[in-house]
Chain A
Amino acid sequence: EVQLLESGGGLVQPGGSLRLSCAASGFSFDNYAMSWVRQPPGKGLEWVSGLRSSGGSTYYADSVKGRFTISRDNSKNTLYLQMNGLRVEDTAIYFCAKDNVPGGGGNPYDSWGQGTLVTVSS
């Protein structure tokens, strides 16, 4: 059974940093592209960042480019999101999501974690 477990969320002041982790199990992690998608409380879904299976190519939404860094450690089956320069508008539940087929990305997401809440407030 595929499992994705996010951690690392919490309350942080504007300008602060957090590192999110997503521990994966139940599938060949190193064969799949992975993404982070966020959802502000009570609002819709926004793709944040994506990473190919090899980790060589990374992609970001304009709203986080230059502030967030996505990475993966295939030896630990873990996806990361380093978030610097956090803003109030980054407040959201952050989900990690797995592509539905192996490969380099450009696919829908067939498995999602339960999410971790990031709150940016003074």
Chain B
Amino acid sequence: DIVMTQSPDSLAVSLGERATINCKSSQSVLYTSSNKKNFLAWYQQKPGQPPKLLIYWASTRESGVPDRFSGSGSGTDFTLTISSLQAEDVAVYYCHQYYSIPPTFGQGTRLEIK
């Protein structure tokens, strides 16, 4: 199984500042076909709610997701960046590899306001 490891486990950032969450996979999730896609997604989960898809293919923003959210990285190292933290961004964030079965998730990163 591919192990997904996020860092940090928790993060406190001031409103308007940048938040950065990292995700590392135990093996590459880059499919080296002609389109070279990274099978990596990011989700946001608020208390009492199901996860919400933010980013897929490592850097493609889901429809309706604010452009302050961006994803980057390739192979085994990925980053979710929130460029200017808003109060409504307080949540737990998960990375998810869908390159191989079983699909696996990172342990989550709790994002709070400083």
B78 interface residue (CB < 8 Å to A): no
Contact between chains at A114 and B96 (CB < 8 Å): no
Contact between chains at A95 and B102 (CB < 8 Å): no
Q: Specify which chain A residues have a CB less than 8 angstroms from the CB of B43 in the assembled complex.
A: 45
Contact between chains at A47 and B102 (CB < 8 Å): yes
Contact between chains at A108 and B53 (CB < 8 Å): yes
Q: Specify which chain B residues have a CB less than 8 angstroms from the CB of A35 in the assembled complex.
A: 103
Interface secondary structure of B, over-half rule: loop
Number of interface residues of A (CB under 8 A): 20
**A106 to chain B: closest residue by CB:** B98
**B100 to chain A: closest residue by CB:** A106
Contact between chains at B98 and A45 (CB < 8 Å): no
Contact between chains at A108 and B41 (CB < 8 Å): yes
B107 interface residue (CB < 8 Å to A): yes
In angstroms, Cα B37 to Cα A106, docked, is 12
Number of interface residues of B (CB under 8 A): 22
CB distance from A46 to the nearest CB of B (A): 7
Q: Interface readout for A89-112 with B: 1 if CB under 8 Å, 0 if not?
A: 000000100001000001111101
Contact between chains at A106 and B39 (CB < 8 Å): yes
Contact between chains at A108 and B98 (CB < 8 Å): yes
Contact between chains at A109 and B105 (CB < 8 Å): no
Q: Specify which chain B residues have a CB less than 8 angstroms from the CB of A113 in the assembled complex.
A: 50
In angstroms, Cα B23 to Cα A120, docked, is 32
Pairs across A and B, CB under 8 Å, 10 listed: A44-B106, A44-B107, A45-B105, A47-B102, A50-B101, A59-B101, A100-B53, A108-B41, A108-B98, A114-B49
